[in-house]
Structure formats: structure tokens, C-alpha cells
Amino acid sequence: MEMFWQIVVAVFIVLLSALAILKVYLDSIKGKCTSSTDLSGKVAIVTGANTGIGYFTALDFARRNARVILACRDLVKGQEAVEKIRGQTGNTDNVVIKLDLSLMKSVREFAEQINKQEARLDILVNNAGMAGLPLTKTDEGFEVMYATNHFGHFLLTNLLLGLLKKSQPSRIVNVSSMAHRWSKGIDFDNLKAEKSYSITDTYFSSKLANILFTRELARKLEGTGVQMTLCAVHPGLVQTQLLRHLPLHLKVLEVIITYFWKTAEEGAQTSIYCSVSEDLEGVSGKYYVDCQEAEDQSSDLSKDMGLAKKLWEISEKYTGLAEQEN
């Protein structure tokens, strides 16, 4: 019996040592934005900026002296974030404006306000995201997760594109995920959960859509003379509220997440890098991980420009953008 417990203790020590080594390795490969770019006179919008990656992205922009607009669904939490940012940076030129990306009406109202009140827009970070949500439909007929993760940002970007072009060279950063690699593709007959719904498949597909949207917009702007950097990013495995809708029996994952995953501040680094780094001037339509280009880590589906074109067309139709342009 004594020998048994000695073996158990030895195995436990080896396991802890292995976990510690893994932790050191994971920390060593985390990307960090080292750019010292000053954003004085620039205007930036960050969606979902009241918490997590979005908050630390907005905080960094404020430290760089930008005017920062926090686009948030919850104005109370958004204002709390604004006050924190002001207190930590001394920059008082940041505000919260209501935006619910799952509702196209809200997206249009937000964009209309921005286009009226802002003389320029230099950086748009489409950061807000949702995962693990049971099937929920909006009054407009959209499934909430896909609407928040893709359709809302698609419409928002297009409605603000004129202002971004006017302010060129400008930047658009779409926060995707390595989870796009697990997507089986885009089911164009089920984007509103018309036939069926899977929490995981919907999330994976919406993250694939983020990259396809980035690539198709870059293609559309190619050769037009517009100076705009468009990036899709994987922030890493991050300790955020993204998984807050997971069922109780999966909450044990939080222990693992807290130990191994990035902090929200670390997760914001690639978004920040793509927004400010001088190295990315003139680069567009690429995928980034840990503050470096990672096209080899994006799936074949995410590079399918025929798929990207079809997604753009149906997104125009579903969001009403096509009618507006005609």
C-alpha cells in the first residue's frame, strides 16, 4: 500500500511539472503589440468594449490619445467602462453609444449617429461576439448568435465605410477565432436557423464568416485607390465572458481556462497590433494570430473566395443593405 501511494505522489509531481512547463511555453509564445504609434486626432470604434478583449482594446487606444467610442449593448456597463478608462488614462475623450448587433435596426441607428456626429473614423474593431447561447430569435427573424457575430458587423462596417474611406488610411479589424477551422462551411439555407440549430456549428460558422467577410471586402477595395488595412484575428484562448452561457456542468472548464488561457489584456494584443502597427500599412485581407500573419493557420474554407462572394450577397440581402444601395 505504501508503494502504491509513493507511485501516486510521483505521478502527481510529474503531472504538475509537465503542466508548469506547458504553462511557461504557452506564456512564451503569446504575442504582444510593441508599436508606439500615437493616435492623437484619430477616432476609433470598438464594439463590445465594456468588458474583456474589447475593453482592453479601447483602453489601449485611449492611452494612445485617440477618441474612443465604446459601442455597447448595455449602456450602464458601457459607462462604467468609460469611467474606468478615463481614470486609468486621463483621456476624457471617450464615450459609450448604444449598439445591439443582433438587431439591424439598432445597427442602423448607431451608424446614423456616427455618420452625423463624427468628422472621421480611423479604426473600426468589430470585436463583440457571442457563444454558447441556446436558440434565440430576434423580432427581425435573425438567430441571435449569427446576427451578433456576423450580420450586425457586416451591416455596421458597410454603413460606416464612407467615413472610413474619407479618413484613409484607415483600418478594420474583425475578431474571429481559430474555431473557424472546425466549421464544415456556410449553410446558406440555415443562416437564420430556419431548419435546425447547433450551438457549436453556428459559432464555428459565424467565425468562418468573419474571415470570409474580411477577404471579400479587401477584394472589393482592391484597385480602387482606397488605403485601408483589413485584418481578421484570432485573439487566442482568452478568459472572457464569451462562454458565460455555457451550462453549469461545464463550468469546471473555468479552472482550466483561468490557468492556461490568456488574460483579456493579453487577448487584445493582436487586435491592437492590427489596428496600429506601421508594418501593416497597405496589407489587407489577411489572418493574424499572436501579432503576426498566420495564413497557414486559416482553413481552406476561409480562403474560398467563391464562398466569400456568396456570403456577401446573402448578407446584403438579409441585412437590407442591397435594397439601400439600389
What Rg value do the Cα atoms of the chain yield, rounded? 21
Instruction: Give the E-state strand segments of the chain in sequence order.
Output: 43-47, 67-72, 94-98, 123-126, 170-175, 228-234, 286-289, 292-293
Dist CA 277 CA 35 (whole Å): 6
Cα 265 to the chain's mean position, in Å? 14
Residues tagged active-site: 203
Dist CA 234 CA 267 (whole Å): 9
The closest of 321, 57, 58, 313 to 209, measured between CA atoms, is 313
List the strands of the sheet with 67-72, edge to edge. 94-98, 67-72, 43-47, 123-126, 170-175, 228-234, 286-289, 292-293
- Grid coordinates representing 123? 479604426
Tell me the three state secondary structure of residue 157. helix
Which residues on neighbouring strands pair with residue 316, listed in sequence order? none
Dist CA 49 CA 46 (whole Å): 6
